[in-house]
Homo-oligomer: A and B are copies of this chain.
Amino acid sequence: MKKIPYRFVLSEEQMPTKWYNLRADMKSLPEPLLNPATLEPAKEEDLYPVFCKELARQELDNTTRYFDIPEEVLEIYKVYRPSPLMRAYNLEKVLGTPAKIYYKYEGNNTSGSHKLNSAVAQAYYAKQQGITSLTTETGAGQWGTALSEACAYFKIPLTVYMVKGSAEQKPYRKIAMQTFGADVVASPSNTTEAGRRILAEMPDTTGSLGCAISEAVEKAATTPNCRYVLGSVLNQVLLHQSIIGLEAKKAMEMLDEYPDVIIGCAGGGSNLGGLIAPFMKDRLEGRSNTEFIAVEPASCPSLTRGKYAYDFCDTGKITPMAKMYTLGCDFIPSPNHAGGLRYHGMSPIISKLYHDGYIKAVSVEQTRVFEAATLFSRVETILPAPESSHAIRAAIDEALRCKETGEAKTILFGLTGSGFFDMTAYNAYNTKTMTDYIPTDKELEISFEKLPKL
């Protein structure tokens, strides 16, 4: 039997040079994006005003199995990748579980998360096309930081619409983005039509990802040679994030291991989709029975309590419509919700796989999430992001079940990022002022009633 190291890092030559497109192997594809004006499936050209061409192609391509990662993208990947595959010996010991726990750690780069994997790709394609500025939204700030880094590298001016509540709670995130040269605007703002409309309706709103997306899309559509980029949900993003799963699979193969259970936190689905992609291929082709678990916050439970329906990707209702599990594009998570994973919908690919029974979903309350984060930090010496800690919670729960049943399952979870910018939330947990919130059925019903009638 091979000796498994605590930390296994592939060499530069072993790093994958292609992204994997899971859609090429799905028997039953996600429903197409709809053009909201015609209600017809969106064509590549329909997406050009918002996305640059190559990304529009990647968004709609359901057949190309592998995409070459451009050399210029690999040149940045190589600064922080391959990321380590960790064996959580210390956590296993403290839990007293017979399970083997692995995690793929994406926090070892300045953005503090996996988001840089897609940011670099999207900034590169924009540069290639001669796009002269970009816009985006950010919630907790991981995506905004990642894109700021990528745009600094490729020298593309960037405007980030940051959810207002988060901008106020995380001033350091804002400074980090500014250090990389980005212009950061708290959203909703009075710099766009969409922002002004939302402010007129809800002057005291702390904002939402949906609002911020509306503002960023409008800014891109009304600025010459500007495009919008998004850090999750989209098929193109899951494609870029497949690097996580490809590396994890290769590393586990080299260690003669294969996961029985794969766990990922799920907000828009980018990390989960990227992590599971190559393993899901095995499952779809009958070569494995791996169980896939999406973990979402109880305060924003799109998979576990949402509707599988066509909905807008933004609150301002100007984006294409996607068939996905959604809480309704007007849903705004309770202000006590810390960290990211606050999007109203879910990646159409993840939604479809969940709908077809290939993925399970659980929701967890944030105090239990921070309990897991604190335990983890003390034995693994990594201070995890709140988002990532949802996966830690579920992995610990699974390992404790194994302790009861005596099963020696091999668990793999995605540790998407570090919590350096989330100290306010940790402080709330440390001082026992953190609370939980679970939306009532009535609240969700009101939100569902506003879903588009097709």
Identify the A interface with B (CB < 8 A).
5-9, 11-13, 75-76, 78-81, 86, 89-90, 108-110, 112, 116, 149-150, 152-153, 171-172, 175-176, 178-181, 374, 377-383, 418, 420-421, 423-424, 426-427, 430
Contacts and interface: CB of A to CB of B under 8 A. Distances in A.
A159 to B, nearest CB: 16
Given A110-B377, A178-B430, A430-B178, A382 B79 contact: yes
Contacts of A108: 108
A381 B149 contact: yes
A75 B90 CA distance: 8
Nearest to A80: B381
Contact of A420 (B116, B180, B421, B424): B421
A180 B6 CA distance: 21
Q: Which 3 A-B pairs have the closest CB atoms?
A: A6-B78, A420-B420, A5-B12
Given A78-B5, A153-B378, A381-B153, A175 B430 contact: yes
B430 A382 contact: no
Contacts of A179: 374, 377, 383, 423, 426, 430
Nearest to A146: B381
Contacts of A13: 5
B7 A80 contact: yes
5 contacts: A6-B79, A110-B377, A171-B423, A179-B383, A418-B420
Nearest to A9: B9
A158 to B, nearest CB: 12
A112 B418 CA distance: 11
B175 A427 contact: yes
A11 B5 contact: yes
A449 to B, nearest CB: 41
Given A176-B423, A178-B427, A430-B175, A381 B78 contact: no
A153 B383 CA distance: 13
A426 B176 contact: yes
Contact of A175 (B7, B76, B423): B423
Contacts of A427: 175, 178
Contacts of A5: 11-13, 78
Given A383-B110, A383-B176, A430-B178, A7 B79 contact: yes
A176 B418 CA distance: 12
A88 to B, nearest CB: 9
A166 to B, nearest CB: 15
Nearest to A370: B179
B110 A418 contact: yes
Contacts of A424: 172, 175
Nearest to A418: B110
